Structure 1
Amino acid sequence: MRVLMTSLAVEAHFNGAVPLAWALRAAGHEVRVASQPALTGTITRAGLTAVPVGTDHVHHDLVRHLGAELTGFYRDIDFTGERGDDYLSLKGANTLLTATFYAQANNDAMVDELVDYARYWQPDLVIWEPFTFAGAVAARASGAAHARLLWGPDLFLRMRQAFRRHMELLPEELHDDTLEEWLTWTLDRFGCDFDEETVVGQWNIDQMPEGIRLPLGRPTVPMRYVPYNGRSVIPDWLREPPRRPRICLTLGITSRDMAYPNLVSLDELFEAVAELDVEIVATLTEAQRAEVARVPDNTRVTDFVPLHALLPSCSAAVHHGGAGTWSTAAVYGVPQLVIADMWDNVYRARRLADLGAGLFLPPDELTVAGLRDGLEQLLTKPSFHEDAQRLREAMVAEPSPAGVVPALEELTRQQRN
């Protein structure tokens, strides 16, 4: 069958799709990956066929322009529902995300050219990153089956379902769904009607294990997370075992591309680890390195090292809670200390702590002493390692990308008939 995969041009959001794309190709299917031109090199370096569509999105520029005003709004969104799902908050989040993120990341030029390509190439299946609604539009316009490929717990669908439940209790004249309005207008350009499948997909491919995966009542194909970190070379220093406990410190690749401010002071992070009898491997860009007054003697700073190569040698990881970093540490059974305050990163951090596989430190509660104490706990308390191993067992118990291909073939056949 022909499979068209699509993602907005953010490397971290695309990387989670690569192992499944490889598996589909190895099974004999035709696979092409469509995105804005900025992602073309990343796609081809993964050994996949790229289809550049439209113009590059400007969401990064919007974040840079609005700065703390916009990131503050994002931090205030309660994706977990822990503060209670009141209608006005859910409506506000739906409106804000549609205007500043969804419609920006799926700009008209990208949607138009993706639909044109899908109508030309006639894929049997479109697999789309969960914020790349252009994939669902292209599938509807070309008659393809379509599925969302999740890279983390589906908190956005959880919030969407809560919002729709509240809205359905109101008189119809008071219904106000900005995401539906935008997608209705977008679909109408191609002679198609809106339904909720355009938001939620016909089914999900979920890379989170039981205990992390959210039970939201949608058809779901569970799939094992397989780390992919882009083009990778093993450095010489990583060919020998560490002489002391090794700790990975990373802020993730998305922060390199976007203007999200650092959650904590890098100087404070380094002050917390300077006196520990450990080896720190910190992945920092040149710009991030310039923010640091002093790098401790026990710290190696590198621009990039593939996490799937580094983390098996680590005793702990300190990071921001991003999907790729969290999942890679989990799949290798590494205890994690997560400093997170927005998006779905907070949920992952809390669930990690609930499972005993790591610690969650909110940035506004973080101190040098608290960070140092947290790391010492991860390194000295056996329960963290044991629970991290249990999380690893749950991760690797799911079917591999190759193992889910037959299920995708059957679901596509059912939807197409």
Structure 2
Amino acid sequence: MRVLIPAFAHTSHFHGLVPLAGALRAAGHDVRVASQPGFADTITGAGLTAVPVGADHRLLEAMQEKGAELQKYSANIDLSRPEGFDWDYLFNLFDLSVPYFYSVINDDSFVEGLVEYARHWQPDLVLWEPYTFAGAIAARACGAAHARVLGASDLNAYFRRAFVERLGERPAGERPDPLRDWLTDAAGRYGVSYDEELVVGQWTVDMLPERFRLDLSLPTVPLRYVPYNGAAVVPDWLKTAGTRRRVCLTTGSTGTSFTADPAVFHRYLQVLAEVDAEIVVTADAAALQEAGPLPENVRAVGFAPLDVLLEDCSAVIHHGGFGTWSTALYHGVPQVMVPFVWDTVLRAQQTAAAGAGLYLREGEVTAEELRDSVARVLAEPSFLDQARRLRDEVRAEPSPRDVVTVLEEITAGHRGVGTVAAAG
């Protein structure tokens, strides 16, 4: 079958899709990944066929304008109680997200180009990155089956459900819905009518282990997370075991979780170095050393393939990003998490509750508390035991190869449903 994978140009959102795309190709299916033109090299670098459509998005500019305001609705939120989000919070969240995120990465040129290509190529299945709503529109426009592939908690469905519930409580005539209005317009240009399927797909492929998922009761196909870090080379220092235990400190693509000030971050490293371990920091070594020399047991590297690095680590300190968290889970590494936004806090709480790590509140963690937390995780065997139990649980999830068979069966039952004419 032909499989089209629309994903907006963002490395961390794309990497999780690669193992499934590779498994589909290995099974003999024709797979193509559609994204903005500037992302083509990243796609082909993963060994996949790229379909550039539309113009490069301007998400960075949008976030510079409204990112701080959006952060008000994403920082340290409690996802355990959907009823705790009132109308004002939910409306403002969507009222900001639609013009400054959703419609930016799914701009008119991208939607138009994707629909045009889908109608030409006629895929049987469209697997879309969960914020790339253009994928759902294109699937409906050409009659393909379609599903989202989740690489984190299902926040779209979670907040959408809460919003619709609050919307229904509003007086008639006072029910604004920014997401519905935008998608109605964007889809309507191609003869596609709006319904909630454009938000959540016909079903969902979920890489989050079942115990960590939000309870949304949507049709779901579980998929084992398989680490993929993009083009990577194993550095010489990782070809052999270290002389002492290794601890990874990674801050993802958004900076440190502790402070934006390099000098303050440098002090955290000075104190953390008191732990009897080699501290491997995935940060710019030159920038760190401008604040002073690093301790002898701190190794700053600009980049290291996380899949390779964590395989040789006794603990990892990080910000809670899905890729880092999932890779640590996959390798059975205890985690010290300092999360801040969206679902990172929930994952940290759940990991700590499972006994596989510790959760520290961002903005409240002193260097000494971080040091003591890492020392505790290294000293108490229960953390490693529980991390390995989670590793075994994660690796028991269906592999990408297993999921291909499931997708073939489901696609056969959905293909052609909701097709609209090419002239729509």
TM more than 0.5 = yes
Aligned to 1:336: 335
1:216 aligns with 2:216: yes
Aligned to 2:6: 6
1-side partners of 2:408 and 2:74: how far apart? 37
Aligned to 1:103: 103
2-side partners of 1:63 and 1:74: how far apart? 13
1-side partners of 2:377 and 2:140: how far apart? 48
Distance verdict in 2 for CA 1:50–1:290, change over 3 Å: farther
1:233 aligns with 2:206: no
Distance verdict in 2 for CA 1:67–1:194, change over 3 Å: closer
**Preserved contact between residue 248 and residue 317 of structure 2 (Cα < 8 Å):** yes
Aligned-pair CA distance for 1:208:
1.1
Aligned-pair CA distance for 1:322:
0.6
Query: 1:358-390 CA deviation, whole Å, 9 max, x = no partner?
Result: 111121211011101110111001111111111
Unaligned runs of 5+ in 1: none
Aligned to 1:355: 354
Aligned-pair CA distance for 1:27:
0.5
Aligned-pair CA distance for 1:248:
0.7
1-side partners of 2:135 and 2:219: how far apart? 18
Aligned to 1:387: 386
Distance verdict in 2 for CA 1:99–1:376, change over 3 Å: same
2-side partners of 1:373 and 1:83: how far apart? 36
Equivalent residue letter for 1:310: L
Aligned-pair CA distance for 1:158:
1.4
Aligned-pair CA distance for 1:61:
1.8
1:113 aligns with 2:113: yes
Aligned-pair CA distance for 1:87:
2.0
1-side partners of 2:285 and 2:67: how far apart? 21
The secondary structure found in structure 2 opposite 1:364 is coil
Aligned to 2:278: 279
The secondary structure found in structure 1 opposite 2:8 is coil
**Preserved contact between residue 3 and residue 127 of structure 1 (Cα < 8 Å):** yes
1:32 aligns with 2:11: no
Aligned-pair CA distance for 1:170:
2.8
**Preserved contact between residue 6 and residue 127 of structure 1 (Cα < 8 Å):** yes
How do residues 55-204 of structure 1 correspond to structure 2 at under 5 angstroms?
55-66=55-66, 68-75=68-75, 79-81=79-81, 84-204=84-204
Equivalent residue letter for 2:360: L
Equivalent residue letter for 2:114: L
The secondary structure found in structure 2 opposite 1:75 is coil
The secondary structure found in structure 2 opposite 1:161 is helix
Query: 1:308-358 CA deviation, whole Å, 9 max, x = no partner?
Result: 111011000011111101000011000011111112211111111111111
Distance verdict in 2 for CA 1:54–1:159, change over 3 Å: same
Query: 1:128-184 CA deviation, whole Å, 9 max, x = no partner?
Result: 111111111111111111000000121331121111122123344222211111000
2-side partners of 1:67 and 1:159: how far apart? 19
Bigger CA drift: 66-75 or 394-403? Answer: 66-75
The secondary structure found in structure 1 opposite 2:303 is coil
Unaligned runs of 5+ in 2: 417-424
Distance verdict in 2 for CA 1:261–1:23, change over 3 Å: farther
**Preserved contact between residue 5 and residue 127 of structure 2 (Cα < 8 Å):** yes
2-side partners of 1:180 and 1:81: how far apart? 24
Task: Give the share of equivalent positions with the same residue, in percent.
Answer: 49
Distance verdict in 2 for CA 1:97–1:293, change over 3 Å: farther
**Preserved contact between residue 148 and residue 205 of structure 2 (Cα < 8 Å):** yes
**Preserved contact between residue 316 and residue 378 of structure 1 (Cα < 8 Å):** yes
Equivalent residue letter for 1:148: R
**Preserved contact between residue 246 and residue 312 of structure 2 (Cα < 8 Å):** yes
Distance verdict in 2 for CA 1:322–1:184, change over 3 Å: same
Aligned to 1:373: 372
Aligned-pair CA distance for 1:85:
2.3
Distance verdict in 2 for CA 1:51–1:210, change over 3 Å: same
Equivalent residue letter for 1:156: N
Distance verdict in 2 for CA 1:275–1:58, change over 3 Å: same
Distance verdict in 2 for CA 1:73–1:30, change over 3 Å: same
1-side partners of 2:286 and 2:180: how far apart? 40
**Preserved contact between residue 81 and residue 159 of structure 1 (Cα < 8 Å):** no
CA RMSD of aligned residues (A): 2.1
Q: Which runs of 4+ in 1 moved over 6 A?
A: none
Aligned-pair CA distance for 1:58:
1.1
Equivalent residue letter for 1:357: A
1-side partners of 2:145 and 2:171: how far apart? 33
Aligned-pair CA distance for 1:288:
5.3
The secondary structure found in structure 1 opposite 2:210 is coil
TM-score with structure 2 setting the length: 0.93
Aligned to 1:315: 314
Bigger CA drift: 277-286 or 6-15? Answer: 277-286
2-side partners of 1:107 and 1:387: how far apart? 44
Aligned to 2:419: none
2-side partners of 1:69 and 1:294: how far apart? 37
Aligned-pair CA distance for 1:59:
1.3
Equivalent residue letter for 1:393: D
**Preserved contact between residue 66 and residue 100 of structure 2 (Cα < 8 Å):** no
Distance verdict in 2 for CA 1:288–1:61, change over 3 Å: farther
